């Protein structure tokens, strides 16, 4: 009987060495992945380049079209339909909570 059980788990034995391994196999291979250092260096170079471009474009940009301050537009729902949908969804959720609560008290 023990031999039959070992045959059932034969394929799993090929993967026993990966138990407890917390990373993805492809991300650990240098052939298929890049290092985190390379990613950080590339991101830093990109940010530095974008920062220089942003400073150059800011100095040449005409500020007459730019808004001088933020303005408050609105709060709440855009239309009556949006309000109806939200209120009805809230009502359904509340009914489900009440039903679940009463079911738990009846079951106990």
Splitting the chain (108 residues) into consecutive groups of 10 residues, what average pLDDT does each group show?
A: 66 72 56 72 90 66 66 82 93 94 86
- Token pair of 25, please? 């196999």
Contacts 24+ apart (CB under 8 A), 42-49: none
Position 44 scores a pLDDT of 92
pLDDT value of position 59? 57
pLDDT at 85: 93
Q: Which pLDDT value is given to residue 5? A: 65
Could you tell me if 100 and 92 are in contact, meaning their C-beta atoms sit under 8 angstroms apart?
Answer: no
pLDDT of 61: 57
pLDDT, position 97: 93
């Amino acid at each position: 009987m023990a031999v039959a059980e070992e045959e059932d788990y034969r394929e799993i034995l090929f993967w026993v060495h990966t138990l407890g391994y917390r990373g993805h196999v492809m991300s650990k291979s240098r052939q298929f992945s890049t290092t985190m250092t390379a990613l950080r260096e590339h991101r830093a170079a990109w940010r530095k380049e974008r920062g220089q471009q942003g400073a150059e474009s800011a100095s040449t940009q005409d500020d007459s079209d730019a808004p001088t301050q933020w303005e408050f537009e609105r709060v709440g729902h855009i239309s009556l339909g949006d309000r109806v949908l939200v209120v009805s969804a809230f009502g359904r959720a509340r009914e489900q909570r009440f039903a679940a609560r009463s079911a738990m008290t009846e079951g106990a």
